[in-house]
Amino acid sequence: MKIISIKSRQWEQYRRPILNFVKRYDKDKVDSCYSWLFKLKKHHLHQPGTCIKLALWEGKIIAVAAVSDYGTTHSAFLVSPKYVQTQIQMNLFTSLIDELGVCYTKIRYDDKQRIKYALQAGLVCFAYLKGENDLIYLWFGGGHWHIDDITEKEA
């Protein structure tokens, strides 16, 4: 497995395969990341806190991690069902933290697998949020996180 970081010069090359992967595996109808990634242009990848990581196996995308504003605005971690039981999510979390220095993500309270990998990657659960349709999300932060980064945006 190889994890690569998508730079602006590579965005056009990987854009369509990433969108196809997200369309296939993003089952969250309420908070889908497809529209955000569809509107994303290569100059957005120059903004601080915006990063896209791909996990590749034999040249095929098996996982995508994408964040903007360090994960405070958008964060998506999608893994092909065939590889869900592997350590890919944990590796993507740690790779994002290594590159950005800090990473935030919202995880549904009943998504035990993602919570497990977030905790194993060193992320800390520090707040919760009641989203649309009364779904409860947990905020996780990793690296040099601070609770004010989230609570100021939520207020």
What confidence score (pLDDT) does residue 155 get?
Answer: 41
B/e letters for 114-135, b = 16+ CB within 10 Å, e = fewer, are: bbebbeebebeeeeeeeeeeee
What confidence score (pLDDT) does residue 154 get?
Answer: 55
Q: Is the whole model's pTM more than 0.85, yes or no?
A: yes
Is the Cα dihedral 118, 119, 121, 124 positive or negative? positive
Residue-number span of the structural domain to which 118 is assigned: 2-154
How high is the mean pLDDT in each 10-residue block of the chain (155 residues)? 94 95 83 86 93 95 95 92 91 94 93 92 92 87 90 57
Is the Cα dihedral 73, 135, 53, 94 positive or negative? positive
Q: How far apart are CA 72 and CA 47, in angstroms?
A: 14
**CATH number of the CATH domain containing 98:** 3.40.630.30
The total number of structural domains in the chain stands at 1
Q: For the chain, what is the total number of helices (H) and then of strands (E)?
A: 5, 7
With contact defined as beta carbons under 8 Å apart, do 128 and 106 qualify? no
